[in-house]
Amino acid sequence: MNVFAALQAAYPADRSRVAIETDTGLLYTWQDIERATAMLANLLTSLDLHGRTLDDGTYLPPVVAAHTDKSVEALLLYLATLRAGMVYLPLNPAYRQAEMDYFLGDAQPAVVVCAPADFQWLSRVAFQKRVRHVFTLGTDRTGTLLDRASFMSDQHRPDVFESTSLCAILYTSGTTGRSKGALLTHGNLLSNARTLIKHWGWRPDDVLLHALPIFHIHGLFVACHCALLSGSKLLWLGKFEPQAVLQHLPQATVFMGVPTMYSRLLAQPGLTRSACNGMRLFVCGSAPLLPSAFADFAQRTGHTILERYGMSETGMLCSNPYRPADGPRLAGSVGPALPGVEVRVVDDAGSPCPAGAVGHIQVRGPNVFMGYLGMPDKTAESFTDDDWFKTGDVGKIGAGPDDKGYVSIVGRARDLIITGGFNVYPAEIEDHLNQLPGVAESAVFGVPHPDFGEGVVAAVVPQPGAHLTEAGLIEQTKQRIANFKVPKRVFVLAELPRNAMGKVQKNLLQKEHAALFGANAG
Ligand code: AMP
């Protein structure tokens, strides 16, 4: 089934009800969504665009790339692209010339939609890459996209698509190497949305406070699909601001955020039990949530954050339980595999690890993507012969009575540090550092070392008012863990470098300190 057809089937009987309310006071009814997406879909169809057949024979419909700031119209463009049977490619509007050169060259979209302020440079890049149409879309309902769509009919019948039809490309955050375009189908998105809606108990009277960006799986698919396909209302914030979230919480029932958002909310005195009175669910994901933030949030609000795990290639994979009867929500764990999703942990040779042992996380299910655009070798490398996708994450599946079947992420495989022949998992060292007095958070990474191959290095952020020294931190760590795991150097920083989704960019730390031990980094 087509995702858009599923959305139409979820419209409430009374389409004059408000579906989206923005922080600028705009109201969009379900009928507005129906009409606006029809007009945009008719515009896209009128352009007479052609898809292409990929090397493996898969048909890739025309690609619509969106390099726009967050707005409800940008969401409508996404929905309209699916409605027209085309493929949506969201791109971070912070990307500049060199990045867009790569993405447009790689994905070869037929249409690019950008912010009016970026039109000049972006249209030049786009035309060099033979993009046929470049439209603009502002955050205030301005731009050529809506101008042109306003002449279109508001009637449109979505085509019927196979669940294997492609409908989106998400580029992986790619903190190392070239970013890869994950090809996703209607079936991938729909199966995951339906699983989450059921698992997290979505109801038509829910109100989602939407503060995430919409160029990423979390804000676009997880958040919008759950709300829209449940016929629930969205309270739409143009961007995340802790004050704005607090102001709108009393009208909401569900909030989804990345760990940095939760830390920023915790820094607000206004985050109290009464501010969260009407809430039923706080979801966190995209990066690990610190156990201290998990505990502080529960203590301040009375709500236990539900942490979940997923990735662009697969949608959501694991989730802590929603219903108390299904088990507790555990700090530091992403919960068991979601219904219909298989998760296993294997050793370097590919054999399943015993419960509790750390290994490579592999997954299988209807949510797993088709492959990487134009990279058949990378696609082949990423799957086992029996079709398990190698996530690149390292973790374990709990064995104990409390965490049986619960998955814990230890880190990305490529972040593993091998020092003097010993494996060091950064998350384990970070865990120890974070427990030291005065430490707010930390990032542990490896840099080339002439003797050991790699040397363990830490960046540590102090809690407000705390005074930390390198020597003191190293000394205290030595008392807790084996010497080979103790960071050889510790840097005290005001904050860790993070990308837009709150993921710590260890590659930047590694680059900055590549020459620390005088080894040849090449
Ligand atoms: P992306 O494709 O940009 O969503 O990144 C996916 C990656 O983010 C995963 O492979 C994990 O490494 C990481 N990730 C997502 N959710 C979590 C989580 N709850 N805890 C730890 N890491 C996470």
Residues touching ligand 1 (Cβ under 6 Å) are: 172-173, 217, 285-288, 307, 309-312, 334, 391, 393, 409, 412, 501
Ligand 1, closest atom to CA 218?
Answer: 4
Number of H helices, E strands in the chain: 16, 26
Mutate to test the pocket of ligand 1, among 311, 320, 362 (most ligand atoms within 8 A of CB): 311
pLDDT at 411: 86
Residue tagged 């580029």 (tokens): 171
Report how far ligand 1's centroid is from the alpha carbon of 361 (Å): 12
Ligand 1, closest atom to CA 173?
Answer: 3
Q: Whose CA is nearest to atom 10 of ligand 1?
A: 311
Distances (CA, A) of 281 to 20, 67, 296: 19, 31, 16
Question: Residue 449: what residue type?
Answer: H
Mutate to test the pocket of ligand 1, among 91, 406, 503 (most ligand atoms within 8 A of CB): 503
Contact 233, 252 (CB under 8 A): no
Report how far ligand 1's centroid is from the alpha carbon of 316 (Å): 10
pLDDT at 60: 98
Report how far ligand 1's centroid is from the alpha carbon of 195 (Å): 19
pLDDT at 187: 98
pLDDT at 427: 87
Structure tokens at 431: 């865990």
Report how far ligand 1's centroid is from the alpha carbon of 44 (Å): 33
pLDDT at 522: 45
Mean pLDDT for back-to-back runs of 10 residues, the chain (522 residues) = 94 98 97 98 97 95 98 98 97 92 97 98 97 97 98 92 94 72 98 98 98 97 98 97 97 95 95 97 94 96 98 98 97 97 97 96 98 96 97 94 93 86 86 95 93 92 96 94 93 94 91 88 46
Distance from C-alpha of 334 to C-alpha of 151, rounded to nearest angstrom: 48
CB neighbour class for 508 (10 Å; exposed up to 12, middle 13-18, buried from 19): middle
Distance from C-alpha of 237 to C-alpha of 513, rounded to nearest angstrom: 38
Distance from C-alpha of 413 to C-alpha of 394, rounded to nearest angstrom: 5
Contact 247, 235 (CB under 8 A): no
To 10 degrees, the CA torsion angle through 112, 113, 114, 115? 170
Report how far ligand 1's centroid is from the alpha carbon of 334 (Å): 10
| Greatest extent of the chain over all pairs of C-alpha atoms, in Å | 71
Question: Residue 223: what residue type?
Answer: A
Pairing of strands 59-60, 166-171: unpaired
Would you say the pTM of this structure is higher than 0.85? Answer: yes
Long-range contacts of 427-435 (CB under 8 A, 24+ apart): 427/288, 428/481, 428/485, 429/456, 429/458, 429/477, 429/481, 429/485, 429/487, 430/458, 431/332, 432/477, 432/480, 432/481, 433/458, 433/460, 433/473, 433/477, 433/487, 434/290, 434/291, 434/292
Query: At residue 326, what are phi and psi to the nearest 5 degrees?
Result: -85, -5
